[in-house]
Amino acid sequence: MDLAGKNVVYLGGFGGIGQKCVQELLRRQLKALAVFDLTENAEALAEWRTGTPGTDIFYQQVDITKKEDIEAAYNATAERLGHFDVVVNGSGLMNDRLVELTIQINLLGVIQSTLTALEYMDKSKGGRGGLIVNISSVAGLQPTALMAIYSAAKTGTTSFTRSMANPIYFAHSGVSFVTICPGFTETPLLDDISSKTTFTYHTPMLDMFNRVRRQKPEDCARNLVQAMEQAKNGAVLMLELGETQEIDIPDFWKPQIE
Ligand SMILES: NC(=O)c1ccc[n+]([C@@H]2O[C@H](COP(=O)([O-])OP(=O)(O)OC[C@H]3O[C@@H](n4cnc5c(N)ncnc54)[C@H](O)[C@@H]3O)[C@@H](O)[C@H]2O)c1
């Protein structure tokens, strides 16, 4: 997909990975960029607007745990722009001590945002089609015991996004789906891991996690925006240490038809 002239919605655009993605996206001559996030970062917004006067950049307050916030933000964005071409669900929280919130932000929020966006994008409902990118994690590819709740939520996001990419759905909606699974990336999400693990007792996994190599958010962002340009429906992409690897997840169950 050529991003020039496109309207993009980015959820979590003020986060560590989000800000770097926005900077990368703004080099593509977007028509408009809507940043949905919990709190406004006026400084970042002002800098982006000054640096990219040709792009309509605006903020919508969204608490992704609130369906009504999500609906209001998409509604306001559709009224302002007419349509949007790309949505990135990039909000996130890693804190297994907050069980409900971890599921709400990392899984339920992604589902609600996706279903709401489809109301506007789905060709069978009068939309123009497009691309939805959901940010999962390497913890959404394999069990990650140190953060079992986060891993469960991210695995849900991977599976939900792959399901949405079903060719039968695509034939109706014209909306492609890509799952992004970053490895450890240097952002506030990883601050103070020991206070956010599933259990309070010390495990050797914590020592190992504290020593895992981390990629720079700008390297993750560059590959993420390239994945948006490739827009390969159904792709699951691991973004690890500045590289992109497409992950082939096999079907284990083959239904036996009567
Ligand atoms: N940093 C990593 O190592 C890493 C690895 C794999 C996946 N990820 C995923 O990448 C995405 C971006 O994470 P990041 O590393 O930039 O983290 P971050 O903490 O820097 O950013 C998280 C973003 O989510 C937003 N957010 C949190 N709660 C919200 C809520 N209730 N409503 C709306 N927005 C909310 C925050 O405001 C922020 O903009 C997340 O989905 C995260 O799970 C990160």
Among 38, 138, 218, name the best residue to mutate to test ligand 1's pocket (greatest count of ligand atoms within 8 A of Cβ).
Answer: 38
Pairing of strands 56-61, 236-240: unpaired
Residue 235's CATH number:
3.40.50.720
pLDDT at residue 94, as a whole number: 98
Q: For residue 255, how far is its CA from the centre of ligand 1 (angstroms)?
A: 37
The answer to whether residue 196 sits within a structural domain is yes
Task: Say yes or no: CB of residue 140 within 6 Å of ligand 1.
Answer: no
Ligand 1 in contact with 182 (CB < 6 A)?
yes
Domain that holds residue 87: 7-243
pLDDT tens digits, 6-34: 999 999 999 999 999 999 999 999 999 99
Q: Is residue 248 part of a domain?
A: no
CA of 124 to the centre of ligand 1 (A): 32
Residue 187 lies in a domain: yes
CB-count burial class (<10 Å; 0-12, 13-18, 19+) for 35: buried
pLDDT bracket for residue 257 (50, 70, 90): very high
Give how many domains the chain has, as a whole number: 1
26 lines ligand 1 (CB under 6 A): no
Per-residue pLDDT, 167: 98
Residue 251 domain flag? no
Query: What positions carry a catalytic annotation?
Result: 150
Residue 208 lies in a domain: yes
Tell me: the pLDDT tens digits for 187-241? 999 999 999 999 999 999 999 999 999 999 999 999 999 999 999 999 999 999 9
- In a domain, residue 152? The reply is yes
Residue 242 has a pLDDT of: 98
105-142 pLDDT, tens per residue?
Answer: 999 999 999 999 999 999 999 999 999 999 999 999 99
Give 67-90 pLDDT, tens digit per residue: 999 999 999 999 999 999 999 999
pLDDT in tens, 141-181: 999 999 999 999 999 999 999 999 999 999 999 999 999 99
Residue 158 belongs to some domain of the structure: yes
- CB of 37 sitting under 6 A from ligand 1: yes
Nearest-CA neighbor of 155 among 165, 166, 145, 141? 141
The mean per-residue pLDDT over the stretch 54-63 comes to: 98
Q: Establish if 56 belongs to a structural domain.
A: yes
